[in-house]
Structure formats: C-alpha cells, structure tokens
Amino acid sequence: MTDAPASHSWRSVREEVLRRIAHEDWRPGDAIPNEADLAAELGCARATVNRALRSLSDDGLLERRRKGGTRIARHPVGKATVRIPIIRMEIEERGALYGYRLLDRRMERAPDALRPRFGPPGEGDLLHVIAVHLADGRPYALENRWIVPETVPDALDQSFEDLAANEWLVRHLPLTRAQSEFFAINATDRETAALGAAAGEALIVHRRMTWLAERPITLVEMTFAKGHTLRT
Amino acid sequence: MTDAPASHSWRSVREEVLRRIAHEDWRPGDAIPNEADLAAELGCARATVNRALRSLSDDGLLERRRKGGTRIARHPVGKATVRIPIIRMEIEERGALYGYRLLDRRMERAPDALRPRFGPPGEGDLLHVIAVHLADGRPYALENRWIVPETVPDALDQSFEDLAANEWLVRHLPLTRAQSEFFAINATDRETAALGAAAGEALIVHRRMTWLAERPITLVEMTFAKGHTLRT
C-alpha cells in the first residue's frame, strides 16, 4: 500500500463516497466507478480506494459483486432484515385512500431532550418537518421529524408539501442502522388538533432514529391515531 | 418406504414427538434417541421416523447434527432471531431488585375478542394467569396471560406463585413462531390497582402470541408502568 497524503487516506476516500451518497450523486442501486477509475479521479493509490470500499462494504453500504462491479446497497440495514415502512403504502395495503398534509417545515434546534442523540450535528439547526398522514380522509399518523442537514443536504431542497419526508428518505437514502422505541402518550393539544384525538386519549408513538454509517440521518416520532396496533 | 398403518404414519410420529416436547419428556437442548431406536420403540419403519424428524427439523424444532445426533432446539423461533425476553432479567440488567406477585390463576374461557386467535383449543377453558413484576418494589409490568393446556399440559402443575409463567415458559418450552403487537391504553381500575397508574394514564401494551409447530402455546399482554419505553 502506498503511503498516501492525509487528504488521500482511505478514510478521506470513504468520506468522499459517503458525501456522494448523501448528495445523491450515487443513489441506492447505482453502480459506482471501478477502483482504478476512482483512484485516478481522486489521485490516490488503488489500494487506498480498495481499503475504503471494503470498509463501506463491511458496513453493508456497498454491494460488491464478482461480475457487475460495486453498487450502492438498496436496503443495507442489518443486511436486509429491517426495512423502514412507507406509511403511504401501509395505508394503501389496507385498501384505504391515502392523503397527506404538511403542517410545518422549518430550520430549528432540536428540543433539549432529543438533542444529544444527534451528536455534534445536533448543536446546529436541524430541518424540522411536521405532517399528517390520512387514511380515507381520517388522520392516521402524525409525523414529527428532525432531519440532519449535514448528512442529508438535499433535504433542504425538498418542500415536503406533496411527498412525505418518510417516503422521500426511504427512496433516496440508504441507511446502515435503525433504532426503534415504542411508548404511549396521553393526547395533548397537538394530537387533538392533528389526529382528532380526544384530550388525554392514549396513543402509541413509534420513535425511530437512523444512521448512514456513523452519521445521524433523522429522528422521527410517528404518533398513531386512537386504537392503532403496530405489528411485527 | 413401508406402508405403515395410520397410527404409525409419519404424522402420528410427529405428533408423538410434539407430545413429548410439550410434556417435557424431551426438553430444549436434550438429545433424542436415534432413528433406529425410535422406530423400534414406536413399532414403525425407520423411514417413517426419518420423515417425521425431517418435518420437525424444517420447522426449526429439532437440530440435526452430523455427529451428536438430533437435539431439541433451544431457541427455534425464526431459527434463532427472535428471543422472548424474561422480564426478571430485563429488570436485573437495569440494576434493579426484582420482585414478583401472583394476582390470580384460574381455568376459564378466553374473552370473546381473543378467543378466535387460539383456534379450536380456545373453545375450552384456558389457564389464565395474572401477575405483576416489580423493580425495586415498584410495579414494572402487569402480565395477563392465557396458556393453552392442550399444548402445555405441564403448566397445570405449576402454581406460578414464585416463578412467573413468562420465565417458566421460556425455560421449558421451545417455540416455532411468535407474533407481537404494540398498542396504547388508558389505565382502567385494573392498571391503577396493579401498576399504581393514575386513572386514564397512557400505558403501552405488548401483546405476544407464540406457537409450537402449529399449536398455540400462549397469548400474553404485558402492560408496562407509566413512562416505559420498549426498545428494539
């Protein structure tokens, strides 16, 4: 292996690949250039590229095939066990008509209770999106989402007025880790307004955080309307 | 393959193996007799025994090794992905002192809303066990469980006064399928009494059903005390 300068260490090549994924230069399913071409483009040794791609492949982010070269993985989480559900499809699979309404979209800091979960990027403003998903015109779930612009800069170009952040993220970005929490809340003003819940009604919340390599992508709280059951 | 009489079809041999597992003649991890010995004992062809064991192995209930023969699987669900948590261990892992209190144990029919889930065994009386798990003396979870005696006859000999049905079942019986549901309830009198919840407080419920081959083992609702978060 050549002793590449710091700017061309395998870690910097890895960072460059992650940057291209985050910017959607390379999207899930895309073939990426071969090692020799990448090495030439980045001006580093082929062994350095190889080391970087191996590391990303170990994370499940790249699929390396003997023939057909290397591709960005479509569903890299846990090597294809966990998939993030798209709420629209969940509703349509129940035979209901899907509806969607954006309630709010702004840059702001995450609340104190959640901020530490994002690590250093949580110290800056995050993209905060609130929307409601409807089934046959009735509220189905309230999506309260924080997106990390450092990891997903392209999210800043999305209005999320017609396409939910839930669906946009699943379709545009691979992920390497997901963590889920389930808990119950008594409906407050926000849930009575957005979900048509009675004050104090017990609602189930699915809080999920996802990562691309070690970078936080998003934290979302999906609060479901009264009587909803989550199944595994 | 010999044309064995109906009482010695491979299905009846399969049933006999399941019966021995249910009666704990053979427990998870135990080696079972070899095919020749089983065939001699049951008075049927060795090929019939082989067919039955293959079927149980396909279900993940038996582990067949080239050396060391055939054993009852320890954690056959989904071939070792899902494990049923033991609440006592969960509490102790949090560094808290575990406590347990049996509230009720009786034979009765399952309520209408749940009965169909058990299939034909649900038409008879089931063993209904209600208990509370404590962490540092404070209510942690309310266990409301229905056990199917046809599948787990030995449960009838258990008082569940000192050992929770949760732990007894995990330790004594393998299972081949588990299904989970999560939902929220407003605390009723039962939860205020058993969990110290305020009336109407939102609580999360984990409802889980398990099967041994196609036979229902148990359905349990674990209702957790206020503010509990379930993680995956």
pLDDT, one tens digit for every residue, chain A (232 residues): 444 444 578 888 988 888 888 777 888 888 899 999 999 999 999 999 999 988 888 877 888 877 768 888 876 554 434 578 899 999 999 999 999 999 999 999 999 999 999 999 999 999 999 999 999 999 999 999 999 999 999 999 999 999 999 999 988 888 878 899 999 999 999 999 999 999 999 999 999 999 987 889 999 999 999 989 998 7
Split at pLDDT 50, 70, 90, the class of B7 is low
Spatial neighbors of A140 by CB under 8 A, at least 6 apart, are A87, A91, A132, A133, A134, A224, A225, A228
Q: Report, as an integer, the average pLDDT of B46-63.
A: 86
Q: Which residues of A touch B186 (CB under 8 A)?
A: 186, 200-202
- Distance between B119 CA and the closest CA of chain A, angstroms: 20
SS (H, E, C) chain A: CCCCCHHHCHHHHHHHHHHHHHCCCCCCCCECCCHHHHHHHHCCCHHHHHHHHHHHHHCCCEEECCCCCEEECCCCHHHCCCCCCCHHHHHHHCCCCEEEEEEEEEEECCCCCCHHHHCHHHHCCEEEEEEEEEECCEEEEEEEEEECCCCCHHHHHCCCCCCCHHHHHHHHCCCCEEEEEEEEEECCHHHHHHHCCCCCCEEEEEEEEEEECCEEEEEEEEEECCCCCEEC
Predicted confidence band of residue B37 (pLDDT cuts 50, 70, 90): very high
- Confidence band, pLDDT 50/70/90 cuts, at residue B195: very high
pLDDT attached to residue B5: 46
Interface check A114 vs B, CB under 8 A: no
Name the residue of chain A whose CA is nearest to B179's CA.
A232
User: Which residues of A are less than 8 Å from B229 in CB distance?
Assistant: 181-183
- In chain B, residues with a C-beta closer than 8 Å to the C-beta of A204 are 182-184, 204
Question: What is the percent of chain B where pLDDT is above 90?
Answer: 60
Per domain, the residue ranges of chain A are 6-74, 78-224
pLDDT at A117: 95
Give the CATH class of A6-74: mainly alpha
Between B62 and B59, residue with greater pLDDT: B62
Average pLDDT estimate for B77-94: 74
Please tell me if residue B182 touches chain A, with a CB cutoff of 8 Å: yes
pLDDT of residue A163: 94
Contacts of A180 in chain B (CB under 8 A): 231-232
Return the minimum-mean-pLDDT range out of B22-26, B38-42, B199-203, B223-227. B22-26
Note the pLDDT of residue B133. Answer: 97
- Partner B contacted by A229 (CB < 8 A): yes
Tell me if A24 sits within 8 A of A172, measured CB to CB. yes
Residue B2 confidence (pLDDT)? 44
What superfamily in CATH does domain B78-224 come from?
A: Chorismate lyase-like (3.40.1410.10)
Q: What number of other Cβ atoms are within 10 A of residue A169's Cβ?
A: 21
Neighboring chain A residues of B225 at a CB cutoff of 8 Å: none
Residue B118 in contact with residue B148, Cβ under 8 Å? yes
Q: Show residues of chain B in contact with A231, CB under 8 Å.
A: 179-181
More confident residue, A146 or B85: A146
Q: Do A6-74 and A78-224 show the same overall fold?
A: no
Closest-CA distance of chain B to residue A226, Å: 8
- Return the residue matching tokens 């009386």: B125
Average pLDDT of the residues in B125-146? 97
Q: B195 in contact with A at a CB cutoff of 8 Å?
A: no
Does B182 contact A204 at a Cβ distance shorter than 8 Å? Answer: yes
Q: A208 to chain B nearest CA, in Å?
A: 10
Mean model confidence pLDDT for chain B:
88
Count of pairs with CB atoms under 8 A, one residue in A, one in B: 57
**Cα separation, B183 vs A229, whole angstroms:** 5
Average pLDDT over residues B17-43: 87
Chain B hits for A228, Cβ within 8 Å = 183
Measured in degrees and rounded to the nearest 5, phi and psi for residue B198 equal -75, 150
pLDDT, tens digit (0-9, with 9 covering 90-100), for B168-179: 998 888 887 889
User: What CA–CA distance (Å, rounded) separates A164 from B82?
Assistant: 32
Which residues numbered 3-62 in B keep a CB inside 8 Å of some CB on A?
A: none
B178 vs A150: CA distance, rounded Å: 40
Residue B85 binned pLDDT confidence (cut-offs 50, 70, 90) = confident
**Does the beta-carbon distance from A184 to B179 stay under 8 Å?**
no
